[in-house]
Amino acid sequence: MNNLWGGSIAEAARALNSSIGVDSRMWREDITGSMAHAAMLAKQGIISQADGAAIQAGLSGILADIESGKLAIDMTAEDIHTFVEMELTARIGDPGKRLHTARSRNDQVATDLRLYTRGRIDELLGLVRQAVSAIHDKAAKFADAVMPGYTHLQRAQPVTFGHYLCAWAMMLVRDAGRLADARKRLNQCPLGACALAGTTFPIDRDSTASALGFEGPCLNSLDAVSDRDFCVETLGALSLLMAHLSRMAEELVLWSSLEFRFVTLPEGFVTGSSIMPQKKNPDMAELIRGKTGRVYGDLMGMLTVLKGLPLAYNKDMQEDKQALFDGLDTASLCLSVLAPMVEGMTPHRSAMRKAAGAGFINATDCADWLVEHGVPFREAYAVAAGLVHQGKPLEELTLAEYKAACPAFDESVYAAVDLDACVKRRRLPVAEQLAFLETFLKED
Ligand code: ARG
């Protein structure tokens, strides 16, 4: 028998019921949670000091043995909670059977999952920081590299590569804020809610909560065991993070193509073709883009599990972990590839500049010059549009051609349509953004 309630279960039902294949990764959180619970039971006199000590020793032994690889998790156990408790009782006998006093797997799993998610959010925040740092460094180096900015993927107005990259970093800074926000709200301890209605034993919920680094216990026991908002919030933050990564990835795919040639992606992040010798495919960027859908699916799956569930715990909720873990794994994998890929990419100033020099991205500046010389904007716009339609770069038009379009033009228009001057006059706040990012990177 390998379940905790003592009955038997049909083979196919066991396969459906079992969650150890997914939740075994929470072994550390499960053991830590049990240690905090057992310490509290002993402190409150609910179990004897001797039993408490035996449980602590047994659990630390299990922790050490799993860590060292000496103990393999038995995948025929129903879930990780069952495995740890059964292993403990096999090792220390009767005291092990007292561990589950004043606890249920319902508050136990909710606690484990919050602890696990909290740890993964901290890890993800570190990865977001690494990505922001890589983007910051590249932006600082190419702060003044002129490139075309786009709308509708049509060359629109000139910006710099540094300014462009800072836009990426801004997205990630907001993602970090959302993850930190989810972490703040999840940091309450379900332990003591027990199955759904608390317990008659004189437990101390504050002590378990603080031992596990939570802000305090969840106030409502029904809510404590049935709340999976933190899964949804985390997946929501991860979905938006992936949306951002996919947009960056798409630009890397475009920019590294021969058509753009704005960047060369680093060796190790591109693959060759099995048939076309000239190819350097941006597979990693494409996969980041492609995996975004997975995380959206995880979010939808999680929301759908929760829809219409009555209070309190329902077994449907066991499905929370697969979605959450997949979202966490996918996002951290993608971030850990994006950061070194950005760090190692080689931007090509001349290609960017060349693209900025064609496509009339200084047409607005030409119209603005006329406005500054008294021509109403709508008329100025029409004059500039007429010049663009002649098909000759605005820098190369003769003064006679300018004057034919509008007598208000004079020599000083050349300074206005000069690419570097166009960029300078926009006063793109790259230095301020870099300073903002440096502050973000210093915060903990
Ligand atoms: N494996 C279960 C889960 O992940 C643990 C909780 C089981 N609770 C119960 N009442 N059957 O949700």
Per-residue tokens: 307: 């829809």
Q: What integer pLDDT is reported at residue 346 of this predicted model? A: 98
The three-state secondary structure class of 83 is helix
Cα of 10 to ligand 1 centre, how many Å?
18
Closest approach atom of ligand 1 to CA 19 = 1
Cα of 291 to ligand 1 centre, how many Å?
29
Contact indicator for 143, 160 with CB cutoff of 8 Å: yes
CA atoms within 13 Å, Cβ hemisphere of 271: 8
Q: What integer pLDDT is reported at residue 331 of this predicted model? A: 98
Q: Pocket of ligand 1, candidates 22, 75, 79, 228: which has the most ligand atoms within 8 Å of its Cβ, to mutate?
A: 79
Which residue's alpha carbon is nearest to atom 3 within ligand 1?
A: 318
Q: What integer pLDDT is reported at residue 36 of this predicted model? A: 98
Contact indicator for 47, 98 with CB cutoff of 8 Å: yes
Q: Pocket of ligand 1, candidates 109, 319, 320, 325: which has the most ligand atoms within 8 Å of its Cβ, to mutate?
A: 109
Cα of 105 to ligand 1 centre, how many Å?
6
Closest approach atom of ligand 1 to CA 80 = 1
Q: Could you give the residue numbers annotated as active site?
A: 152, 273
CA dist., res. 106 & res. 326, Å (int)? 22
The size of the chain, in residues, is 444
Verdict on whether the full-model pTM lies above 0.85? yes
> What SS3 string covers 88-121?
HHHHHCHHHHCCCCCCCHHHHHHHHHHHHHHHHH
Domains belonging to the chain, first-starting first, are 11-101 (1.10.275.10), 106-354 (1.20.200.10), 357-442 (1.10.40.30)
Closest approach atom of ligand 1 to CA 321 = 4
Cα of 8 to ligand 1 centre, how many Å?
17
Across the chain, which has 444 residues, the per-10-residue mean pLDDT values are 76 95 98 98 98 98 98 97 98 98 98 98 98 98 97 95 98 98 98 98 98 98 98 98 98 97 96 82 97 98 98 98 98 98 98 92 94 96 95 94 96 94 94 98 90
Cα of 78 to ligand 1 centre, how many Å?
9
Ligand 1 is surrounded, with C-beta below 6 A, by 19, 23, 79, 105-106, 109, 313, 315, 317-318
Distance of CA 75 to the CA centre of its chain: 30
Which residue's alpha carbon is nearest to atom 11 within ligand 1?
A: 315
CA dist., res. 221 & res. 211, Å (int)? 19
Cα of 313 to ligand 1 centre, how many Å?
8
Which residue's alpha carbon is nearest to atom 10 within ligand 1?
A: 106
Q: Pocket of ligand 1, candidates 3, 316, 318: which has the most ligand atoms within 8 Å of its Cβ, to mutate?
A: 318
Which residue's alpha carbon is nearest to atom 12 within ligand 1?
A: 318
Q: Pocket of ligand 1, candidates 5, 315, 319: which has the most ligand atoms within 8 Å of its Cβ, to mutate?
A: 315
E-state strands within 196-288: 263-264
Contact indicator for 344, 268 with CB cutoff of 8 Å: yes
Q: What integer pLDDT is reported at residue 5 of this predicted model? A: 76
What is the dihedral sign for C-alpha 224, 228, 233, 235?
positive
Cα of 15 to ligand 1 centre, how many Å?
14
AA letter at 386: G
Which residue's alpha carbon is nearest to atom 4 within ligand 1?
A: 318
- Where helices occur in 268-376 by DSSP H, the ranges are 283-306, 320-344, 349-357, 363-372
Closest approach atom of ligand 1 to CA 113 = 4
Which residue's alpha carbon is nearest to atom 2 within ligand 1?
A: 318
**First-residue to last-residue Cα distance in the chain:** 48
Contact indicator for 368, 380 with CB cutoff of 8 Å: yes
Cα of 17 to ligand 1 centre, how many Å?
9
Closest approach atom of ligand 1 to CA 315 = 12
CA dist., res. 302 & res. 322, Å (int)? 9
